[in-house]
Chain A
Amino acid sequence: MFSSAKELLEYCIKNNVKISAAIIDDEAKTSEKSKGEVMERMRQSLEVMRSSASQGLEKDIKSISGLIGGDAKRINDNINKNKTLCGSNINKAMARAFSSSEVNSAMGRIVAAPTAGSCGILPAVIITAAENFNSTEEEIVNSLFTASAVGAIIAGNATLSGAEGGCQAECGSASAMAAAACVELAGGTPEMSFHAAAIAIKCILGLVCDPIAGLVEAPCAKRNAMGSVNAMAAADMALAGVKSIIPFDEVVDAMYRIGKSMPFELRETSLGGLAATPTGIKLHKEIF
C-alpha cells in the first residue's frame, strides 16, 4: 500500500502509470489474487452502486423512520420540467446521490463508499461522469480503484469516521475520492486527480456531523447531494489546470486536526448542530 499521495504520485510518475493501474497491481499482489479477480470484485460493487443510484429516481423511497424520502425522484422529475440553475448534469448527479442515500436509509443494499452515511456521492459522480465521457466499463471500474486509493490514504493518515472527524471525514472523503476518480475518467493526470481531491476536501473542511435523532438520514442525504456537486466542481477545476496550493497530504492532515479540535457534540453524537435545534429535538422525540 502507498502511505501518502506523495508516495503514490512519485510511483505513478516514475512508472508512467495511472493511479488505478498502480492500485490494481498493488491489490493483486497483497491479496494474492489475479488482476482479473480483483477487477471482477470491483465490478460487482459497481453493479450495487448503479442499482442504489437509480432506484430512487423512479420511485418514492421512504426511510425507516419516515424522516426523509422521495427527494431523488423530486429532483429527477424536475430536470426537464422547470427551469434549473444547475442544468441537467448536476441535477442528475444530485438525484443519484439522493437515491443511494434514500436506499440506504430504507435498509436497501448499498456499497459503503467509504461509509454508509456518505454512500451516495461516489456512485452519483462516477455514473454521471461516465455518461458524459462515454466511458467503457473497464474505465469505470478502474476509476473506482483510484477513488479507493484516495480513501485509503485518508483512512491511514486521518479518519473516515463522522464520530471521529465530523462529516468532513465522511462526505468530505467521499467527495475527494469521487473528484480524483472522475478526473482520471476524463483523462486527467494523477497530479490532477490529487489536486481535485485536495480541492474537494478543502471546501468541506469543518463540516460537522449532526444527524437528527442519531439517524443516517438528515442532513446526510442532502450533504451527499452537495458532496457530489462539490466533487464535480473540484474535478473540473483540476482538469482546467487549477492547482491546490496546499498539497493533498497536508490538506488531509489539516482535516484530521480540525476534526480533533471539534467538540464532541458536533461529531455524530446528535448533541449539537441541527440535531440540537428545537425541531431536531422534537423529531427525535417523535421517532423514539
Chain B
Amino acid sequence: MAKNYGVFDILGPVMIGPSSSHTAGAARLGRIAANIAGSDIKKVTFLLHGSFAKTYKGHGTDKALLAGVLGFEPHDERLRDSFIIASKEGLEYEFIESDLGDVHPNTVKFLFEKSNGTAFTVTGSSIGGGNVLIKEVNGEEVEFTGEYPTIITKHYDRPGVITAVTSLLSELKVNIAFMKVIRKSKGQMASMVVETDNPIPDEAIEGISKIKDIEKVFLVKPI
C-alpha cells in the first residue's frame, strides 16, 4: 500500500459543508495563514486561483477563508456568517479572482495588511479531504501541512546554521518529523521548514533567533 490512512482520516473531518477541499480546506488555510501572519490584521485580500476562483461562491470558499482568518475551525457553525462577524470586528476583506501561475487548482494567496502598516503574504493550496499545504510565506518558498508544530526560519546559507537549530531542538527533546531547506542561490538567503512531533517551547524559538546567521524565525502551531 502506497499510503497509510488513519481511522479519522477516512471518517472525517467534522466540517461545515459543502466541500472538504473548497470549504473545510479553505477554513484551515485561513486559520493557518492568519496564525503565521500574527495579530493585528487590519485587512486581508484573498487572491483566488483556479477552481477556487471559479466556484468560490457556490462552495462558500470565501466565507470559509474569512472564517479561518477569524480563527474559526472548519466545524464551527459561525463559518456561514463570517462576512457579518468580520465586519463587526472591523476586519476589512476583499476577494479577487487571479491567476497565480503553475500552482494547484485550489490555491489562494493571502495579502495581509496589519494595523501598524506592515504587509504579510501567505500562499497555500487545498489538496483534498480538508488537507492543505502552505507554499509561500512572505516571498519565501516553503512547504508544510500545518498539522505539526512547524518552525520556519529565514537565514543566511552558511555552514553550521542547520546543525545549530537541530541540536538546540534535540537538547529540548523535540523530535523532528520532517525537514526541508530551501535556498535561492548558494551563500544567499535561505529558509528552513522544520515540522516536529512535540510542541515547541518558547525557549526554542528564543534560542533559534539568537543563533548566528538566523535572521528571522516563526513558529506555526498545529491546526
Contact = CB atoms under 8 A, between A and B. Distances in A.
Report, as a range, how many residues of chain A touch the other chain.
35 or more
Which 4 A/B pairs are nearest by Cβ-Cβ distance? Answer: A104-B17, A3-B1, A151-B10, A156-B1
Contacts of B55: 213-215, 288
Contact of A148 (B10, B23, B60): B10
Contacts of B14: 44-45, 48, 109-112
A217 interface: yes
Contact of A110 (B8, B17, B129): B17
A108 B1 contact: no
A113 B4 CA distance: 17
A155 B19 contact: no
23 contacts: A1-B6, A3-B1, A27-B6, A42-B8, A45-B12, A45-B14, A48-B14, A63-B18, A107-B18, A107-B80, A109-B75, A109-B77, A111-B11, A112-B12, A116-B15, A116-B19, A152-B6, A155-B9, A160-B129, A213-B58, A214-B54, A288-B55, A288-B58
A8 to B, nearest CB: 11
A161 B128 CA distance: 8
B24 interface: yes
A249 B195 CA distance: 35
A287 B58 contact: yes
Given A38-B7, A214-B58, A64 B18 contact: yes
Nearest to A217: B18
B182 to A, nearest CB: 28
Interface in A31-79: 31, 38, 41-42, 44-45, 48, 63-65
A280 interface: no
Report, as a range, how many residues of chain B touch the other chain.
35 or more
Contacts of A110: 14-17
A179 to B, nearest CB: 15
Contacts of B20: 112, 115-116
Contacts of A113: 10-12
A147 B15 contact: no
Interface in B11-53: 11-20, 23-24, 51
A206 interface: no
Contacts of A89: none
Given A106-B18, A111-B11, A152-B5, 9 more contacts: A1-B6, A23-B7, A109-B75, A111-B13, A112-B15, A116-B23, A122-B11, A152-B6, A156-B1
Interface string A153-176: 001110011010000000000000
A119 B130 CA distance: 14
A80 interface: no
A30 B11 contact: no
Contacts of B2: 156-157
A210 B214 CA distance: 50
B57 interface: yes
B77 A114 contact: no
Contacts of B221: none
A143 to B, nearest CB: 11
Nearest to A105: B18
A251 to B, nearest CB: 16
B156 to A, nearest CB: 38
A97 interface: no
A214 B53 CA distance: 12
B16 A107 contact: yes
A272 interface: no
A177 B5 CA distance: 15
Given A107-B79, A115-B20, A156-B5, A216 B11 contact: no
Contacts of A215: 18, 55, 58-59
